[in-house]
Amino acid sequence: MNSGRERVMGQLKWRSSLRKAFAVLAVASLAGFAATTACAQQKSEPLSKVERLNRAPVNKEVLKVELPKPTVVKLPNGLTVLLLENHKLPTVAFSLWIRPGQLADPNNLPGLASFTADMLKEGTARRTSEQIATEVDSLGASLDAGSRFGSSYTSVTATGLMDSAPRILDLMSDEVLHPTFPAEELAKYKQRALADLEQNISSPGFLAQQAFRKVVYGEPPLSVASATKDSIQGVTSEDLKRFHDAHYLPGNSIFGATGDFKAEDMKAMIEKYFGTWTGGPEPEASLPRTAEAQPSKITLVDRPDSVQTYIIVGDRGIRRADPEYYTLTVMNRIVGGGPQARLFLDLREAHGYTYGAYSNFSSDIYAGSWAASSPVRTPVTDGAMTQFVYEFKKINDEPVPQDELNESERAIIAGFALSLEQPQQILNAWLTVKEYGLPMDYWDRYPGHIGAVNSADVQAVAKKYVDLAHLQWVCVGDRKQIESVLKKYGPVTVVDATGKPEN
């Protein structure tokens, strides 16, 4: 009786937190919408003249959100398991993170981690590719795997009804523990991967990102943003099996589950299907030593007859566990973290150079990157470069006005709170804590840390990571039309779509 009452009271408390989150999000959205609308209606005025009215009633208190805590256990085989009960719906979600992901790709086979993850579903010792697809479909479930370039882990995820949990775990464990990488399925996979690569190479955004990672990191595996034609054509089933056997180990892995279950029951179920998995943790991936910051330069990727210039500019950033994560989150939101941010309001709303201009940053066990980007019409390349430089100087030289800072922090906190409506988002938050060694109260304290960032903090982190003397620029476009323009902003190196220098 008491447990039922506690469950009801817990749900009421959780719903109350979400209502507060929605209220804060609504206020932040109204404020952002008002600023954007005012700018759109007065495009003839300089951005500096746009007035932020801030007439919406705002609660200045920092939203306090307490995440439900998972049960954390370690199975006898070394597999770390996070169990997060959520009894709102009769569903379950599983997520398995396996290190070291793409960081273990050999230099001669970029994409091997991705190939291995993609091929898990193409056949096991007990099931063919067709049987796996049919069984997943019959359960109304999902079962996916992937390994992103730049990521330090491979992820295998599954969702479905709680009643189907044993069959989902059976399928999931079969793929992870017993893949066979059949040669006939690999041949089909190669055809699809080559077609995807050809399509990607035709995209200026893809070419820009590929060149940017190479400029910023220099050496593989961090400098690699995609597989190559040679690596796709050359990979064999034996390569996939060797990679799988070397890295798909319980000691390398974290298994998360959330849904309508009792933690002890789910622990037993996971152990039933993954308990026979063996292998201790391997040493951390050996990464290239962080190089000294390089003087700013421009890499022009020649794309003849291109009607646009795709610009990416940035440099190395921080690790996920670095304390500057909070300040960089706020700074990034102000500069380019959405349609209410400075770059968007400047390049799109005030000048009409582009459909969108944004910034973002990545972080992992190694220093990720901070970068801003925008595709602009070729004739306005000069103007766009000028405005990028203007905004970077501004965030370095001028303290952020308090109302703009408050608006950005409220939006970040409200967005975080709103994300907690999704159980899988909460599960991923806890997997992040375990993966990067963050404290168990990290997310409880996250809103407070964001709200405590001040204008001086933002300016300091901008001087460090938006440093015009060391920012690396990549511009993808028609060399004949934009090379002379780009030379006004720094030394230019011209390469073709493969990265080969042009004369």
pLDDT at 20: 45
Tell whether 331 and 208 lie within a shared domain: no
Tell me, yes or no, whether 111 lies in a domain.
yes
Tell whether 266 and 307 lie within a shared domain: no
Tell whether 306 and 217 lie within a shared domain: no
Amino acid at 218: G
> Could you read off the pLDDT tens digit of each residue along the chain, which spans 503 residues?
344 444 434 444 444 444 444 444 433 433 333 333 333 334 444 444 555 554 444 455 656 777 899 999 999 999 999 999 999 999 999 999 999 999 999 999 999 999 999 999 999 999 999 999 999 999 999 999 999 999 999 999 999 999 999 999 999 999 999 999 999 999 999 999 999 999 999 999 999 999 999 999 999 999 999 999 999 999 999 999 999 999 999 999 999 999 999 999 999 999 999 999 999 999 887 787 666 789 999 999 999 999 999 999 999 999 999 999 999 999 999 999 999 999 999 999 999 999 999 999 999 999 999 999 999 999 999 999 999 999 999 999 999 999 999 999 999 999 999 988 899 999 999 999 999 999 999 999 999 999 999 999 999 999 999 999 999 999 999 999 999 999 999 999 999 998 999 87
Tell whether 228 and 259 lie within a shared domain: yes
pLDDT at 7: 43
Instruction: Specify whether the CB–CB gap between 336 and 371 falls below 8 A.
Output: no
How remote is the C-alpha of 451 from its chain's centroid? 23
How far, CA to CA in Å, does 247 sit from each of 121, 216, 253, 282? 17, 27, 9, 8
Tell whether 100 and 222 lie within a shared domain: yes
pLDDT at 65: 72
**Structure-block tokens of residue 129:** 């590719």
Tell me, yes or no, whether 32 lies in a domain.
no
Tell whether 258 and 315 lie within a shared domain: no
Residues in the chain: 503
Domain count, the chain: 2
pLDDT at 286: 79
Tell whether 216 and 305 lie within a shared domain: no
Write down the residue that tokens 């766009």 correspond to.
384
With helix as H, strand as E and coil as C, how does 131-185 read?
A: HHHHHHHHCCCEEEEECCCCCCCEEEEEEEEHHHHHHHHHHHHHHHHCECCCHHH
CATH assignment at residue 206:
3.30.830.10
pLDDT at 291: 66
Q: Strands 297-302 and 472-477: what pairing?
A: parallel
Round to whole Å and give the CA distance between 461 and 327: 7
pLDDT at 297: 97
Tell me, yes or no, whether 502 lies in a domain.
no
Give 155's strand partners: 97, 146
Round the CA-based radius of gyration of the chain to a whole number and report it. 25
Tell whether 313 and 450 lie within a shared domain: yes
Residue where one domain finishes, among candidates 228, 259, 274: 274
pLDDT at 40: 38
Tell me, yes or no, whether 369 lies in a domain.
yes
Round to whole Å and give the CA distance between 251 and 316: 30
Tell whether 427 and 325 lie within a shared domain: yes
Dihedral angle computed from the Cα positions of residues 229, 231, 232 and 236, in that order, rounded to the nearest 10 degrees:
150
Amino acid at 272: K
Residue where one domain finishes, among candidates 274, 306, 339: 274
Tell whether 432 and 327 lie within a shared domain: yes
Tell me, yes or no, whether 483 lies in a domain.
yes
Instruction: Specify whether the CB–CB gap between 110 and 224 falls below 8 A.
Output: yes
Tell whether 223 and 342 lie within a shared domain: no
Tell me, yes or no, whether 8 lies in a domain.
no
Tell me, yes or no, whether 439 lies in a domain.
yes
In which domain, by residue range, is 156 found? 71-274
Tell whether 305 and 186 lie within a shared domain: no
